[in-house]
Amino acid sequence: MKKINLYVLIILVSVWVSSCKDYVTNIDPLIDRIEDGMLNDASQIPFVIAGVQTRFANASTQLNNQADGLSDEFIFDQNVPNATFPTFREINDGQILVDNNSVRGVYTALGQYRYYADNLIVRANKITITDAALKNSALYTGSFYGAYARYQYATYFGKATEGGSPIDGSAFINAAALYDQAITLFKQALTYTTDAKTIRIVNSCIARIYLYRGDYANAATYAKLGMISGDKAFQALHNINQGSDYWGNSGAGRTQFVCDPRFKAYVDADPKEANRIKLASKLGSDGKKTYYYQVKYLQDSPEDAMTWQENNLMLAELVLRGQTTGNALALVNEVRASHSLDPLLIVNLDVIYAERDKELFCSGSRLPDQRRFNKWHLGTGTWQYFPITSDEINSNKNL
């Protein structure tokens, strides 16, 4: 009897396995993703390039918004309607836990687009691409965005007062080494393009890195080769359906962060500043206090990642620091004229700091500026970078 039951069980299991095999092999193909192997074809390279660019934009909008929250540009106040995220409170206070879910999200997004950029270089060199322009486009994209990701790691993540991050499960790489990697990749990107404007954008990105690390001589060299008046901004073209994080967390979509009151004061002192500092207001939950939030970026707005105006301000600062020749005041006033602002009569490093505050509003630039100008607004022991997240710490044996 036991043998009969065993035979029956074997037959039933065999039928079940066979049925499962038929089910697995006969399911419809995926409709919301593409298998990796299918991308190893030259015809798919434009798709992969677009994927890297979109992931870059979606990561950058989150990162810049949160960086402005850690800086003195944005504030978190639960009196603001819909300001409810305790993770944003931690960011605002500079008391950030390694399991902060908002930081975990952007760290993951940054890591994903960095991986896809690096992988694009490997893929483009592995498969046969007979179209030289297409191959150069792939290698440029992988190099440029791989560089930009490393710049972001170095500028925004690290220990409390030291920038850096692991990559691909490595040990902690300090900001100086990550900046070196970024510069190498940016220079590599330059070998894959002959477009004059694109070359100027890359040089401006290199100049920014040198500026942030305090290497003013090299910053001047590359800023002089950077963007010029009239150049269209290099922008992060995020997924419109997802929307800009500035819109979704610091704007009309939802207002977790609001602007520091000084931005309203800038506009009150000179109404023309509204041309570049775009604000809207809302009443606090107490029915008394008025808050101002950014409307520079709406749901479908592409975000500026590098502009000729930023390059001008870098050059003006470098003139004042004695690293290049030129007219610092004229460079600043050219930026102001692009917004129909009246010219200034004098310029010094304090003026540069203030002009960068206004011109680079909602760009993630304030946080590194506060550090390098030694104007940190929070107390000792607070985070000046975002921490390496608990997910990375728990999975990385080298940390």
Q: What is the CATH number of the domain that holds 142?
A: 1.25.40.390
Which one, of 148, 123, 146, 145, lies nearest residue 134 by Cα?
123
Which tens digits make up the pLDDT trace of 83-139? 999 999 999 999 999 999 999 999 999 999 999 999 999 999 999 999 999 999 999
* Entry field: residues in the chain: 399
The band of 36, judged by pLDDT with boundaries at 50, 70 and 90, is low
**What is the percent of the chain with per-residue pLDDT over 70, rounded to a whole number?**
89
Is residue 254's pLDDT more than 90? yes
User: Which residue segment(s) compose the domain that 194 sits in?
Assistant: 39-242+299-374
Specify the range with the lowest mean pLDDT, choosing from 20-29, 176-185, 211-220, 306-315. 20-29
Residue 235 in tokens:
């922008």
Distance from chain centroid for Cα 161: 19
The band of 22, judged by pLDDT with boundaries at 50, 70 and 90, is very low
Cα 119 from Cα 196, distance rounded (Å): 26
pTM flag (> 0.85): yes
Is residue 13's pLDDT more than 60? no
Asked whether residue 389 is assigned to any structural domain, the reply reads: no
Per-residue pLDDT, averaged over 156-182, amounts to 97
Number of structural domains in the chain: 1
Which tens digits make up the pLDDT trace of 277-291? 999 999 999 999 999
Residue 151 in tokens:
């710049």
Beta-bridge partner residues of 257: 76
Per-residue pLDDT, averaged over 6-31, amounts to 42
Which one, of 301, 257, 299, 260, lies nearest residue 277 by Cα?
260
Asked whether residue 399 is assigned to any structural domain, the reply reads: no
Could you tell me which residues come within 8 angstroms of residue 312 by beta carbon, excluding any fewer than 6 positions away? 229, 331, 332, 334, 335
Per-residue pLDDT, averaged over 333-349, amounts to 98
Asked whether residue 8 is assigned to any structural domain, the reply reads: no
95 exposed, middle or buried (CB, 10 Å; 0-12, 13-18, 19+)?
middle
Asked whether residue 154 is assigned to any structural domain, the reply reads: yes
Is residue 318's pLDDT more than 70? yes
Q: Give, for 362, the enclosing helix (H) or strand (E).
A: none
Which one, of 373, 383, 382, 380, lies nearest residue 212 by Cα?
373
User: Other CB atoms closer than 10 Å to residue 55's CB: what's the count?
Assistant: 22
Per-residue pLDDT, averaged over 341-357, amounts to 98
> Are 279 and 263 within 8 A, CB to CB?
yes
Which one, of 269, 271, 292, 289, lies nearest residue 362 by Cα?
292
Q: Give, for 65, the enclosing helix (H) or strand (E).
A: helix 45-70
Per-residue pLDDT, averaged over 381-388, amounts to 97
Given this model, what pLDDT does residue 21 score?
Answer: 41
Question: How many CA atoms lie within 13 Å of 213's alpha carbon, on the beta-carbon side?
Answer: 23
Given this model, what pLDDT does residue 41 score?
Answer: 75
Asked whether residue 366 is assigned to any structural domain, the reply reads: yes
Asked whether residue 203 is assigned to any structural domain, the reply reads: yes
Residue 42 in tokens:
């030259």
Torsion sign (Cα): 180, 181, 184, 186:
negative
Given this model, what pLDDT does residue 116 score?
Answer: 97
Given this model, what pLDDT does residue 35 score?
Answer: 53
Asked whether residue 277 is assigned to any structural domain, the reply reads: no
Which one, of 187, 171, 152, lies nearest residue 398 by Cα?
171
Q: How does the average pLDDT of the chain come out, rounded?
A: 91
Q: What is the four-CA torsion angle of 253, 255, 261, 264, rounded to 10 degrees? A: 10
Cα 107 from Cα 171, distance rounded (Å): 16
The band of 16, judged by pLDDT with boundaries at 50, 70 and 90, is very low
**What is the percent of the chain with per-residue pLDDT over 90, rounded to a whole number?**
86
> Are 88 and 120 within 8 A, CB to CB?
no
Given this model, what pLDDT does residue 3 score?
Answer: 45
C-alpha distance from residue 138 to each of 129, 132, 141 (Å): 10, 10, 5
The band of 43, judged by pLDDT with boundaries at 50, 70 and 90, is confident
Asked whether residue 30 is assigned to any structural domain, the reply reads: no
